[in-house]
Structure 1
Amino acid sequence: MSALATPDAAVGASNGARGSFARRLLRRPVAIGAIAFLALLTLACVLAPLIAPYDPKEQDLAAVLSGPTGDHLLGTDTLGRDVLSRLLHGGQRSLLSVLEGLAVVLAIGVPLGLLGGYLGGRSDRLLSRVAELLMAIPAIILVLVVLAVLPHNEDAAMVTFGVLGAPAVLRVVRGATLKLREELYVTAARVSGLSHARIVLRHILPRVTGPVIVQASIFAAYALLFETGLAYLGLTADPTTPTWGGMVAEASTVMQQQVWLLFPAGVLIAVTIMAFGLLGDAVRDAAVATEAPGRRRAVAAAPAGIGEAAAADERPDALLRVRGLSVVLERGGVDVPIVDRVSFDVMPGETLGLVGESGCGKSVSALALLRLLPSGMRVAEGEIGWEGEDVRRYSDRAFDALRGSTFAYVSQEPQASLDPTFTIGSQLVEVVRNHEHCSRAAAKERALELLRLVEIPAPERIARSHAHELSGGMAQRIAIALALAGRPRLLIADEPTTALDVTVQAEILALLRRLQEETGMAIVLITHNWGVVADICDRTVVMYAGQVVERCAVQEMFDRPLHPYTLGLLESHPSLATARGALPSMAGRVPAPGDWPAGCRFAPRCRYARAECEAAPVPVRTVEPDRVSRCVRVEQVFPVAEEVGRR
């Protein structure tokens, strides 16, 4: 039977990952010791009415402060009551108080931390301010007020303590979530059309369990100290009710007569606190070790200049119409332009290439189309038309429905776009079920079909694998399979052949061509590789410093580039290098947004630049039907462009 056809296969719900976590945890002697101690302590306290040798209130006045004896293994207190029995019965109240406080802390801190970190913006700022306000309140003062209103009510005291402790957990979870939401596998999940709630619960929450466990263990230790402190002061129970703190308080009054009485409760409290801490550390380390290391996407930001509008040819039958798309970065209260009024069309079934060096705005433009811009960036203006409708006007909920089923996305870092904690099959099943609302069995069959579609050998075995077990080419095929799970009509592929060897690049491009022929989907291909452009693209948009500088059919661009930047890119292709000559290259680099020149942004690197080029921003020109160029000297560049085209 196939791996995807069995309920206990790894494609189900990360059973393999959970098994690995349990094995790693149980390999740690400290973890085993802490778990065993806490389990035995809890069991003993729960069974206290059955196993305690005496009633906790029973007095033996003939054996007051006796110390350990055969009748009283841990001695007796000031009234001759059995210390062991009182420890067992007192543990019920102490451990219950810890559980109450811990439940409140996690119930408030974890959901609100996930909410603030994932949503960001105003929600995050509001929750952060509330958390800071609560953390400024001295816990003991507020708990004393509660106990003044509700005398000896330990439940109310521990719930209040939990509420005041929740902001610490909230801040830790928020910080971890802020980082995780920028991971490519979270972006991939959003593009696949998964709901925000599902992404948070399945792909973010498991990754913040380490920090949560550490915080929970620390809080449990503090809660036990706090509870024993209140009992020590006699604020939460009457003197006859056994509590660990009350026993310590009683022992402190007779230290000159019998120092032993301080040890049973004091040592038990100390060892229990230590066990909480050691267990938290061990569980955190095991959880971290279970996950394979992944790469994190970094988005560089820089200040910007002023953009100029770019005209586009009117194509009424276009599938995707982008007009005047501008993206800005909020920095210090100032909007810094990153992408400057980019315009282009994508026709049904065609492949459009976005070409340019790194830092030209290609990936940011694509992420803007998908509403997946990094934190701090936003679309300032522009129109994104899909079959005649401006989807920029869609609500977030309405636009979410387009991801995966209408638009799909393949990252340039395929392994980072796969969740390392789940098997490949389980991730495919999740996306398929989200789009097709089918049974798990049908989703497993569809997942295997997708793996075969992208030419994965031994799909059953690969379905049981994790991301770190795949090669780069295999991971890229899996990323494409995930993108196809919702049967999209437009696939945005961000440098899908980067970091792959030449043979694997050719296989991925051949796969994209075949999939396009079979499904009829359109493709927007982001690349800086002219070989990829020539192999698969129908039309090309060349970008430089956040602007479109040239747009036309691929063959025309190779034959007659009409912008100096396009010409420079073509002349820099390694295929033009001679056996003994230097590798051709363009001098200079793409300017950071804050360093954009006032005139033509390519002028500092352009060998044809004149004073007129630097005087003012250069608008885009329609040079020929379906051809535009952002250059005031097209006529002077044109003869050279023809020369390059003939090589």
Structure 2
Amino acid sequence: MAANLATEIVSTRTRRGNRSRWLTVVATPVGAAATVALSALLLLAVVAPMLWSDWANRTDTAQILHGPSSEHWAGTDNLGRDILARVLVATRLSVELALLATLIMVAAGLVLGTLGVLFGRRVGRVVAAVINIAVAFPGLLLALFFAVIFGIGTKGAVLAIGFAGAPGFARLVQTLVAGVEPRDFVLAARVAGVNRFRILVRHVLPNVGEALIVNATIGAGAALLAFAGLSFLGLGVQPPNYDWGQLLGNGLTGIFEHPIAALAPGIAVVLAGLAFNFFGEAMAKGIGVTTTLGKLRLPVVKPPEEGAIPRKEHADDVVLRVQDLRVSFPTAHGAITPVRGVSFGMARGEAVGVVGESGSGKSLTALAVAQLIERPARVSATELSFLGTDLRRGATRADRELLGIRFSMIFQDPMTSMNPTLRVGGQLAEVARRHGGLSRAQATDRAVDRLDAVQIPDPKRRAGQYPHEFSGGMRQRAMIGMGLMGDPALIVADEPTTALDVTVQSRVLQLLESIRREQDVALLLISHDISVVRQVCDRVLVMYAGQIVEDLPTQDLHASARHPYTRALISVVPDMHTALDEPLAVIPGRAPDPASFPAGCAFAARCPLATDRCREQMPPLETDAAGRRVACWHADQPQPLTPEKAKAVS
């Protein structure tokens, strides 16, 4: 089985759409132009000194302070040196010093901004107060202050600009870290005993790194402008070295007679600053872009290649058989049995919905079938088989492999079902590695492929993210992708649309429906919302107080429901004809406590048709000629009108 699954993984073609989102930086005209400009600037910084240094340093007393000409495009300075060549050669020193100052700014800002994580809240509050005071002063004033402290010259200017920008960057780091620190995956790491430095490096900084890189890029442009300003004032680069700021200062002395001498380095400073800033803005937009799906595209989920995974076919094509399933929990006052005698079966490709109020036993039934209920709870059944394998005998290794590959469980809340400290791709890959025997690389490829199959945009990048970085709908689709890591014959979806808005809910339901039809997979959909089940399922099981009280086709749900509880569930769902000026319909009373179920029908206390027989004798689940099942002494009997409805009819 593992070898066959590995063959399937290796043969799966690479899907489109796996580009890194950093490439989206050049997807817009502004981003492309900024990328070209910044690349040209960096290239010029490398090659200009090699090509034009001699020309830039060559003095010619016969050409002093000449204007632009064919020989000197930007004219000459007071020693007859070519101004354009000097501006080009100064690119390297100007860019190098700006990047070095930016590096100091980032390093100091990271240290200051993360002290609270490393040493606790008290230290963090003190550092925050210092940062707030420093940020209150203008950056140029801080730069001048540090320039006086560190001294005039290149070294002093670099340190001055770096430390002047550090408070602003530190505040950014503090803000971003404060947004990540309370997240579940960080708290889980602390509970697990991970030290603070490892939490910072492993869990916090990777989740804020992209924003910091973007702001550092923009900060490099600001540092370049600031450095030019200090050199212009005579506090930066000193002769015989020169950068754009010094050239600008030299040219400004004769600006009225020879304006091009100041204009050329000024243009260089502005263009370089714009290149850094526009590239940073393009990075911000590119990183923030989420792929728009537009019109929903139902995925074509290819079934495994022939022979990839052996299937157990049966004459009746039954996937699941459950007969008289019971789940009980021991207590100090005796056993409690919240699931009492549940019986049903499912065929390949069939969609069955399970509806009922909270506490009716829906999820416990699914967990019992999936062998996920542990001791001291006790699960018993007359028959409990999956693909012909008897699950009552205990979880053998073969049973675990069968359930791991052919049985898929989609839990109600993916945020709590997924490990917040592990990346999504790794959690999906674990299924194939543990149950399919795949290597790490093969399992990772499979995880990316499954994320793509459930319409996760940019699946390769998303596989490397943590669950908190996914939206609610994406987490739910990732859970579905986890269920597709093997070759499921049955998918159990436990409230897969809880807490999702109607648009995302519709997409998740259509995705499940598409997978069911494409792969001929049986689907057991658990929900408290009867309208959700009606959209997807062929058949509905209505549960109340741990029992199935009605089993009928979905198409008969509204017109031919026979049990009063089923009719009550339908009546409380608002529709387009619900009166807006009247209270919404509710089911009176509350479900019985599993510790004290009544002797007769559990719904009798809330049923308008209940008689003494209902309160004393439990009705059996009987099957009619059409194959529908119902457990009610008064099935098909018309339900009396409530006083409100009677008043409305009159």
User: How much has 1:494 moved relative to structure 2?
Assistant: 2.9
Correspondence for 2:18: 16
* Partner Cα separation in structure 2 for residue 46 and residue 462 of structure 1: 43
* Partner Cα separation in structure 1 for residue 176 and residue 35 of structure 2: 25
Q: Is the 8 A contact 2:38 2:279 kept in 1?
A: no
Q: Deviations over 1:210-259 (max 9, x none)?
A: x5565345323322221111111111222432111111112222223311
| 1:62-101 alignment, distance < 5 Å | 62-101=62-101
Check 1:125–1:21 CA distance in 2 against 1; reply closer, same or farther (3 A cut).
Answer: same
Check 1:627–1:556 CA distance in 2 against 1; reply closer, same or farther (3 A cut).
Answer: farther
User: How much has 1:85 moved relative to structure 2?
Assistant: 3.3
Q: Is the 8 A contact 1:429 1:447 kept in 2?
A: yes
Q: Is the 8 A contact 1:49 1:89 kept in 2?
A: yes
Q: Secondary structure in 1 aligned to 2:50?
A: helix
Correspondence for 1:231: 231
User: How much has 1:142 moved relative to structure 2?
Assistant: 3.4
Q: Secondary structure in 2 aligned to 1:555?
A: strand
* Partner Cα separation in structure 2 for residue 131 and residue 93 of structure 1: 30
* Partner Cα separation in structure 2 for residue 83 and residue 411 of structure 1: 70
Do residues 315 (structure 1) and 330 (structure 2) align?
yes
* Partner Cα separation in structure 1 for residue 515 and residue 571 of structure 2: 17
Q: Is the 8 A contact 1:248 1:265 kept in 2?
A: yes
* Counterpart AA for 2:513: V
Correspondence for 1:572: 568
Q: Secondary structure in 2 aligned to 1:467?
A: coil
User: How much has 1:76 moved relative to structure 2?
Assistant: 2.0
Q: Is the 8 A contact 1:25 1:283 kept in 2?
A: yes
Give structure 2 stretches of 5+ with no counterpart.
1-5, 188-197, 296-326, 345-352, 365-372, 378-403, 460-472, 499-504, 552-562, 620-630, 636-650
* Counterpart AA for 2:429: V
* Partner Cα separation in structure 1 for residue 607 and residue 453 of structure 2: 59
Q: Secondary structure in 2 aligned to 1:279?
A: helix
Q: Is the 8 A contact 2:74 2:84 kept in 1?
A: yes
Correspondence for 1:39: 39
Q: Is the 8 A contact 2:25 2:282 kept in 1?
A: yes
Do residues 431 (structure 1) and 433 (structure 2) align?
no
* Counterpart AA for 1:554: Q
Do residues 254 (structure 1) and 254 (structure 2) align?
yes
Do residues 170 (structure 1) and 173 (structure 2) align?
yes
* Partner Cα separation in structure 2 for residue 502 and residue 43 of structure 1: 49
* Partner Cα separation in structure 2 for residue 345 and residue 199 of structure 1: 41
* Partner Cα separation in structure 1 for residue 434 and residue 130 of structure 2: 39
Q: Secondary structure in 2 aligned to 1:258?
A: coil
Correspondence for 1:442: 439
Q: Deviations over 1:558-581 (max 9, x none)?
A: 9xxxxxxxx99643344999xxx9
Check 1:65–1:138 CA distance in 2 against 1; reply closer, same or farther (3 A cut).
Answer: same
Correspondence for 2:158: 155
Check 1:501–1:280 CA distance in 2 against 1; reply closer, same or farther (3 A cut).
Answer: closer
Correspondence for 2:495: 494
Q: Is the 8 A contact 1:411 1:495 kept in 2?
A: yes
Do residues 554 (structure 1) and 547 (structure 2) align?
yes
Check 1:143–1:443 CA distance in 2 against 1; reply closer, same or farther (3 A cut).
Answer: same
* Partner Cα separation in structure 1 for residue 85 and residue 229 of structure 2: 21
Q: Secondary structure in 1 aligned to 2:54?
A: coil
Q: Deviations over 1:136-187 (max 9, x none)?
A: 34433433343233212233123213422314643775698699x799xx99
* Partner Cα separation in structure 2 for residue 437 and residue 123 of structure 1: 44
Correspondence for 2:468: none
* Partner Cα separation in structure 2 for residue 73 and residue 583 of structure 1: 81
Q: Is the 8 A contact 1:102 1:220 kept in 2?
A: yes
Correspondence for 1:624: 597
Do residues 529 (structure 1) and 535 (structure 2) align?
no
User: How much has 1:264 moved relative to structure 2?
Assistant: 0.6
User: How much has 1:92 moved relative to structure 2?
Assistant: 1.8
Check 1:80–1:29 CA distance in 2 against 1; reply closer, same or farther (3 A cut).
Answer: same
TM-score scaled by structure 1? 0.52
User: How much has 1:34 moved relative to structure 2?
Assistant: 3.0
Correspondence for 2:456: 467
Check 1:510–1:220 CA distance in 2 against 1; reply closer, same or farther (3 A cut).
Answer: same
* Partner Cα separation in structure 2 for residue 345 and residue 138 of structure 1: 67
Q: Is the 8 A contact 1:21 1:290 kept in 2?
A: no
Q: Secondary structure in 1 aligned to 2:494?
A: strand
| 1:125-524 alignment, distance < 5 Å | 132=132, 134-151=134-151, 152=153, 153=155, 154-167=157-170, 169-170=172-173, 173=176, 209=210, 215-289=215-289, 291-292=291-292, 314-315=329-330, 356=357, 410=410, 428=425, 431-432=428-429, 436=433, 442-443=439-440, 445-446=442-443, 466-467=455-456, 479-482=479-482, 493-495=494-496, 499=506, 500=509, 504=513, 507=516
* Partner Cα separation in structure 2 for residue 6 and residue 160 of structure 1: 54
Q: Is the 8 A contact 1:232 1:245 kept in 2?
A: yes
* Partner Cα separation in structure 2 for residue 115 and residue 432 of structure 1: 36
* Counterpart AA for 2:597: E
* Count of residue pairs brought into register by the alignment: 473
* Counterpart AA for 1:624: F
**Which of 5, 8, 11 lines up with 2:10 in the alignment?**
5
* Partner Cα separation in structure 2 for residue 43 and residue 82 of structure 1: 21
Q: Secondary structure in 1 aligned to 2:439?
A: helix
Check 1:147–1:129 CA distance in 2 against 1; reply closer, same or farther (3 A cut).
Answer: closer
User: How much has 1:45 moved relative to structure 2?
Assistant: 2.2
User: How much has 1:638 moved relative to structure 2?
Assistant: 6.0
* Counterpart AA for 2:278: L
Q: Deviations over 1:411-458 (max 9, x none)?
A: 67999x99xxxxxxx96566325995999962465578x89xxxxxxx
Q: Is the 8 A contact 1:571 1:585 kept in 2?
A: no
Larger radius of gyration: 2
* Partner Cα separation in structure 2 for residue 350 and residue 411 of structure 1: 22
Q: Deviations over 1:445-489 (max 9, x none)?
A: 5578x89xxxxxxx979857842699xx999786334158699xx
User: How much has 1:268 moved relative to structure 2?
Assistant: 1.1
Q: Secondary structure in 2 aligned to 1:85?
A: helix
* Partner Cα separation in structure 2 for residue 232 and residue 94 of structure 1: 12
* Partner Cα separation in structure 1 for residue 231 and residue 523 of structure 2: 73
* Counterpart AA for 1:17: R
Correspondence for 2:51: 51
Correspondence for 2:470: none
Q: Secondary structure in 2 aligned to 1:143?
A: helix
User: How much has 1:265 moved relative to structure 2?
Assistant: 0.3
* Counterpart AA for 2:456: A
Q: Secondary structure in 2 aligned to 1:72?
A: coil
Q: Is the 8 A contact 2:248 2:265 kept in 1?
A: yes
* Partner Cα separation in structure 2 for residue 113 and residue 354 of structure 1: 51
* Partner Cα separation in structure 2 for residue 93 and residue 621 of structure 1: 78
Q: Is the 8 A contact 1:315 1:345 kept in 2?
A: no
* Partner Cα separation in structure 2 for residue 606 and residue 574 of structure 1: 10
Q: Secondary structure in 2 aligned to 1:262?
A: helix
User: How much has 1:624 moved relative to structure 2?
Assistant: 2.8
Q: Is the 8 A contact 2:545 2:594 kept in 1?
A: no
* Partner Cα separation in structure 2 for residue 436 and residue 78 of structure 1: 74
Residue identity (%): 20
TM-score scaled by structure 2? 0.52
Check 1:539–1:571 CA distance in 2 against 1; reply closer, same or farther (3 A cut).
Answer: closer
Q: Is the 8 A contact 2:542 2:549 kept in 1?
A: no
RMSD between aligned residues: 6.7
Q: Is the 8 A contact 1:623 1:629 kept in 2?
A: no
Q: Is the 8 A contact 2:102 2:219 kept in 1?
A: yes
